[in-house]
A and B are shown apart, each in its own frame.
Chain A
Amino acid sequence: LAKTTQPISMDSYEGQEVNITCSHNNIATNDYITWYQQFPSQGPRFIIQGYKTKVTNEVASLFIPADRKSSTLSLPRVSLSDTAVYYCLVGGRNNDMRFGAGTRLTVKP
Chain B
Amino acid sequence: GAVVSQHPSWVICKSGTSVKIECRSLDFQATTMFWYRQFPKQSLMLMATSNEGSKATYEQGVEKDKFLINHASLTLSTLTVTSAHPEDSSFYICSAVPGRGLHEQYFGPGTRLTVT
The one of B46, B93, B104 in contact with A96, judged by C-beta atoms closer than 8 angstroms, is: B46
| Residue contact B43 to A101, C-beta cutoff 8 Å | yes
| Residue contact A43 to B108, C-beta cutoff 8 Å | yes
Tell me if B28 is interfacial: C-beta within 8 Å of chain A: no
Q: How many B residues have CB within 8 A of the partner chain?
A: 25
Tell me if A63 is interfacial: C-beta within 8 Å of chain B: no
Extra pairs beyond A46-B105, A92-B103, A97-B46 (17, CB < 8 Å):
A32-B104, A34-B103, A41-B91, A43-B6, A43-B95, A43-B110, A44-B107, A45-B107, A46-B106, A49-B102, A49-B104, A87-B44, A91-B103, A93-B103, A96-B59, A98-B46, A102-B43
Interface residues of chain A, those whose CB is within 8 Å of chain B, are 32, 34, 36, 41-46, 49, 87, 91-93, 96-102
